[in-house]
Every structure is written in C-alpha cells, then in structure tokens.
Structure 1
Amino acid sequence: MKILVDADACPVKDITIKTAKMYSVPVYLVKSFSHYSSHEPVGVETIYVDTGADSVDYRIMQLAAKNDIIITQDYGLAALALGKGCIALHHKGFSYRLTTIDEMLNTRHANAKARRSGKRTKGPKPLTAKDKEKYQALLEEVLGQNRIL
C-alpha cells in the first residue's frame, strides 16, 4: 500500500506525510512542473509531470494499484481511483464512494455548464482546522484498518 497525493493544490500534504510515517506507508506527491520546488519534504518521493490538463491525474492512475490511497479534491480522479479499487479521500475528511461519485460528477458537470452560460456558482468553502482534524482522523482510520488486512 502507498499514498498518492494529487499535490498541485493539496492543503493537507504535511498531515498526510506525518500520519503516513506513523504507519510506515510510503507517500508520493505527484505534481506538475509548474509547481516545482527545490524544497521538497523529507521522506517522500515527489514525481513531476508535464504541465497540462489532467497530466497529474493520469500519472497517479499509472502508479496506483488496488488498495492504494489517493488524496484528491478532483471528483474525476476520485472516480478513476474507485474504479481501480483504490481508496479515495478528500482533504475535507470524507471518503469518496462508488454509491455517490456519479451524483458528485453530475453536479460538477451541471455547475461547469452553468458557469459557461454566465451564471455564478458557489465555490468551495475555506478549509478549516476542524476539516483538517476530520481528515487526519479519517486517514488514521483507513491506515489502521489496512494495517490489519
């Protein structure tokens, strides 16, 4: 098992790395070259991909295997991960589920369509300390359950 992070805009990289170290699970940060940094976190592997639509998502799916954990806020990537048998987590502390991902994708599509026609849609709410706590608890739960398997 490994953790693959959609790292271009992930606000919980530090929590993920710290928690994964407690369970001795490797972490891979996948990001585009446009987010290059010479100060990468210690103890994780950073993988850079071309800057382009969905390049990070495609690379994550190439690296992913069944039961790996994917951290993303992208519903499309989450759907691909679930289809491959991965565990997909959102940084606000919820798991993506096969039973709800279609509805999430439909809502995303409807909102994108509305924006293209000039309507305004609500953006995501800011990440709170409570969201981060919820995420860390979920990640610890998932890692603890998979340690037993």
Structure 2
Amino acid sequence: MSRVFVDADACPVKAEALRVAERHGVEIHYVANGGIRPVDHPLARMVYVAQGPDEADKWIADTAGPGDVVVTADIPLAAKCVAAGAQVLNHNGEAFTPANIGPKLASRDLMADLRAADPFRQGGGRGFSAADRSRFLDALERALRAARRGG
C-alpha cells in the first residue's frame, strides 16, 4: 500500500497533498520538527521529530521506500529516497528521478560553492505560483496512479 511522505516544515502544498491522498485512500505522513498545525483527518499522520538539522529528512529517508511518494524540495533527501525506490516530487510538481538526481545534486553543490565565494550573492529563486501548485497536483495524481499500478 502506497504512502505519501511530506517534508512539511516549509511545504506550500500540504493541503493539496492531502486532497490527492484522500482521493486515493492512502495515508499521508507530515514530518516536521514542530511548528506546524496538526491535521485532523483520518488518513493524516503527524510525525514530529527531534529538533536539529535534517532530523525530518533522516526520518523520511529511513521510512520511505518502493511504492511511496515523497514530497520535498530538499535535493539530498530526494536523492536518498530515489535510491530507496520511492517516487519523489518537488513542490512545483517536478519529479526527481534516477536519471536527473545526479545533475541536480551537482548543481546544488555548485550553487552552494558560488554563494560561499560571494557573500553578497542573494538568492534569486522565483516565487511559488498558481501554475506550480497546479503542476504539483497533476504530478502527485500521476505518481499515486503509477504507485497503484506498481510502477
């Protein structure tokens, strides 16, 4: 049986993920260090991990596996979950796959090095849009259908 795991501390699509999980009748686990409101739904499981860097990531990486879907923007966590056989989606609906996770990790590391070399460099990411939300809903729907089919 498939499960959805949400790296919930800064996730902008928690409610959307629950709607899709509900439609498919699968459990959804919101994993956080705390600071998020509990979700009162029979399929929702709140998992509060210890304070500390990457504790939520460690719990998800140790728990998710084949047939599961993980929602995260954290690329190292995505890499661990892809290696464990889970399907992994970013909040904008982009899938992390065995084919693209290596280049994404390399790009992340390069950008971290560039930011470290230039302390005045500011983040240049764009905001989260309605189109991103829509792509996420479609991607999660497809991922759960594929999980149900076993692929």
- TM-score > 0.5 by shorter chain: yes
Secondary structure, aligned partner of 1:133: helix
Following superposition, the deviation at residue 105 of structure 1 comes to 0.8
1:123 aligned to 2:119?
no
Please, which moves more after superposition, 137-146 or 17-26?
137-146
- 1:147 match: 148
Per-residue CA deviations over 1:10-29 (Å, capped at 9, x if unaligned) read 00000000110000010000
* Distance in structure 2 (CA, Å) of the matches to 1:40 and 1:26: 12
Aligned length: 147
Gaps of 5+ in 1: none
- Structure 2 regions of 5+ residues with no counterpart? none
Structure 1 equivalent of residue 83 of structure 2: 83
Q: Deviations over 1:19-78 (max 9, x none)?
A: 100000100000003x253x4342301000112111111011222122210000000000
Q: Is contact 2:12–2:91 with CA below 8 Å preserved after alignment?
A: yes
Q: 1:81, 1:87 within 8 Å by CA — same for their partners in 2?
A: yes
Structure 1 counterpart of 2:8: 7
Determine what percentage of the aligned residue pairs are the same residue.
29
Contact preservation (8 Å) 1:90, 1:96? yes
Secondary structure at the counterpart of residue 128 of structure 2: coil
- Describe the SS at the equivalent of 1:22: helix
User: How do 1:7-26 and structure 2 match up within 5 A?
Assistant: 7-26=8-27
Name the TM-score, length of structure 2 as normaliser: 0.90
Are the equivalent residues in 2 in contact too, given 1:79–1:101 (CA < 8 A)? yes
CA distance in 2, matches of 1:146, 1:98: 16
5 Å-filtered alignment, 1:46-125, equals: 46-119=46-119, 120=121, 122-125=123-126
Q: Report if aligned partners of 1:32, 1:48 keep a CA contact under 8 Å in 2.
A: yes
